[in-house]
Amino acid sequence: MTRRQTTAAILTLALVLATSAALAQDTGTADFTKYVALGDSLTAAFSSGGLEATEQVVSYPAILHFQTGAGGTFEQALILEPGLPSQLQLFSLTPLIIAPGLGMVEFPDLTADPPDPGSFINIFLNRPYDNLGIPGANLDEALSTLCAEFDESPFYCVILRNPECEPLLTDPIGGQCLTDQGGTSSVEQGLSLSPTFISAWLGSNDVLGAATSGLVIEGVTITPLDSFTADYQQLMAMLTASGAGLVVANVPDVTSIPFTTTIPWFVVDPATGEPVLDSGTGQPIGLLAETSTGIRQLTPADLVLLSASEALAAGDGIPPQLGGSGLALTNDLVLDADEIAIIDQRILDFNDVILSEAQAAGAAHVDIFSFLRGLNATGVDLGGIQYTTDFLSGGIFSYDGVHPTSFGYAVVAQEFVDVINESFGGSIPPIDLGPFVFGVPGGIQIPAGAVAGAVLTLEARDQMLKAMGVPDVETLTRIQQRRDADRRPSRRERGRRDAPRRERPGQQ
């Protein structure tokens, strides 16, 4: 599909949504005259490992804006196919291959006359976007990271406005800033628009990095509670000072998403899909993996990440007598029970902070944590169609196992609508899910060619970590090893270091 055709298809979808909520709706005491959204990849509508306009036009803030019928445009940093990074696609079922699609975005050409935005069709907006969700932003970064600090994530220079930065002119990931000062954070840019209503969904990236990298490193992949609390108080102080109506959302359980729950902890017979049972105990056989407490067999209390699929396909984690390599899955491919306990407790602690701060500020509160738990339990049934949170066959989560599909984002948006209606006494009408279920004219392209790999390639995983602002696994592993070296090594840890480690070819 040409860029123009893609734009047309995307704008058609946007139009369908717009016409179904064309009239100003009763939003109670909430004023949506100027609505601004703060957040991270979930707010930006990051999906299948990339940010792309098909999902962006139906980000939950865009849908919320349409549903309130407030009128005016809702500006977002739209990026055309194949998305940034190139979105994951399913290339084949047998073997199961999910990998980034081919192609690359067209970067803006500022030398053209008039300047050509390339695939970044809205890049020349001369004011901050209304949707300031930045993939990779944790709470502290949303408050303080400027466009100039493009190392944090490639998206700061795409989404944050700064006349001193010429985005994407020379360096496709960063951009070139003419000064190392200037620019403002996403929260500051949002407030500069004088919003009458603000949504803020932050905190997920303060714990998600630990789940996706498989390594829980305090201050690096998981944020300490005291700094989170101080930052959240600062956030709420800034938002309440604006006088705008507020809704905040909390942190979902990142150990209950397809990325962490799809692959089971035991060895599976590929022919039947059933666990292989130990001939003596009759129980499933746990995969072999490196954990916080050394190399051991996994148990039901542990989780295997989707990123382990390449290693599993090579036989790692599986005993030789069952056809495996006998090598343990590396620490970054699993979350052991101890790591899960830290993550789970941290999420509860973060969510306690978010709730109490919301109550103190009089902000509406969307309990996404409970909402995801409900989706995991019962899914969504529409006219005979069952949507579940299952990977690939559920329709709610996308190919990265972390972010929703457009349909998933619509369901999240409905949750926001319900909470806003209840908290502000409005009657914003229900979102029309028909276009999300049945699609819009434009169609889906079958990806051409295939990329060698298996399920979720490590390349895809690394690309996603980078997009989400998490340091790459090798860096994280070095950090963790340095920290471990500072402590007195235990016998078990010595055993772990002596264990054979599989060479990973091609890793940078």
Partner 1 sequence: MKVSGLVRRKIVVALLMAALVTLPAQGAGFSIYEQGNKATGMANAFTAQADDPSAMFYNVGGLAFFDEREFMAGVTFMFLGDSDFKGVAPFPGPTQTGSQSDQIKVPIHAYWVEPISDDWVFGLALTTPFVLLTEWDDPDIWSGRFLSTKAEINTIDVNPNIGWQVTDNLGLGFGVALRISDFELTNRVPVINPFTLMVDDVAEAELGSDTETDVGWNFGVQHRVNDRFSWGFSYRSKVEIEYGGDVELTQILTGFSEFDDLIAATLPFDQGVPIRTSIEFPDLASVGVAYRVSPAFLVEADINWTGWSSFDEMVIVSQDDPTLSETLEFNWDDSNTYRAGVTWDVRGPGEWRFGAYYDETPQPDESVGPILPDADRVGISAGYGRPLGKRTNLDLSLLYIKFDERTTTTNMDNFNGTYETSTILFGATIGW
Residues that bind partner 1 (CB under 8 A): 16, 20, 90, 92-96, 262-264, 267-274, 309, 312-313, 318, 381-388, 390-395, 398-399, 405, 407, 414, 429-435, 437-439, 444, 446, 455
Least distance to partner 1, CB of residue 434, Å = 3
Nearest Cα neighbor of 241 from 362, 140, 365 is: 362
Please list, in sequence order, all residues whose beta carbon lies within 8 angstroms of the beta carbon of residue 411, skipping any fewer than 6 positions away. 375, 380, 387, 396, 404, 433
Least distance to partner 1, CB of residue 388, Å = 8
CB closer to partner 1 out of 87 and 477: 87
Nearest Cα neighbor of 54 from 100, 86, 13, 16 is: 13
User: Are 324 and 316 within 8 A, CB to CB?
Assistant: yes
Least distance to partner 1, CB of residue 363, Å = 25
Token couple for 17 = 């949504």
CB closer to partner 1 out of 46 and 387: 387
Least distance to partner 1, CB of residue 395, Å = 4
CB closer to partner 1 out of 96 and 217: 96
Distance of CA 239 to the CA centre of its chain: 24
DSSP for 382-395, please give it.
ETTEEEBS-TTTSB
CB closer to partner 1 out of 322 and 485: 322
DSSP for 114-155, please give it.
SPB-TT-TTTT-SS--SEEE-TT--HHHHHH--TT-TTS-TT
CB closer to partner 1 out of 239 and 410: 410
In whole angstroms, what is the distance from residue 359 CA to residue 264 CA? 39
Least distance to partner 1, CB of residue 152, Å = 29
Token couple for 77 = 């940093």
CB closer to partner 1 out of 320 and 495: 320
CB closer to partner 1 out of 81 and 149: 81
Least distance to partner 1, CB of residue 297, Å = 14
Least distance to partner 1, CB of residue 408, Å = 9
User: Are 83 and 55 within 8 A, CB to CB?
Assistant: no
Distance of CA 277 to the CA centre of its chain: 35
